[in-house]
Amino acid sequence: MSETPQPKLVFVTGGARSGKSSFTLNEASSMPGPKAYIATAEPLDGEMAERIRRHREERGSGWDTLEEPVELAALLRSVKDRYSVLLVDCLTLWLSNIYIVDRAGVEREIEGLVRVLKELRGSPGCPSLYLVSNEVGMGIVPENRLARVFRDMAGRLNQEVAGVADEVYLVVSGIPLKVKG
């Protein structure tokens, strides 16, 4: 008789096109029960719409898709009892969306998300949570202030989420490296 896996919080980061979304989807798909993919991207142009279409196709019919570009913490709270697995892709786009809507509220939103992640991890029957984010701080120092501020905010967000995660992976050239857990 196989044992049901314990719910966990898994944080996956890496560069653009590193394979982090595919790795995370594969890992989360192996978990039992109903699953929801929480997309933070918005189809603001044709290229992004095509990316979203390909991602949906890759997931297949075993996933419900929930789209939430800004109110991520509230959505996680509201759906936690309906799913065994929640996969958020991606935190960097979520952060960008917040920055556009409410630049002054970014710190508050990061703190709110981390608070919800801690609540969910500590609640009975909590789902397994998989969170994908870009590692944007490994390149050159951006030449403009806006890009530097965003890089710093993304770094803080990633540190906060990694701090509460049970497992953390860095994906490089399609290869996942477990760095925590």
Residue with tokens 């701080």: 137
At 33 the three-state DSSP class reads coil
Q: CA nearest 172: which of 129, 135, 130?
A: 135
User: How far is 45 from 51, CA to CA, in rounded Å?
Assistant: 10
What pairing do the DSSP bridges indicate for beta strands 167-172 and 175-180? Answer: antiparallel
* Active site amino acids: 55
Q: Kind and range of the H or E element at 34?
A: none
Residue with tokens 């995660």: 165
* CA angle 36–128–38, rounded 5-degree value: 30
Q: Kind and range of the H or E element at 66?
A: strand 63-67
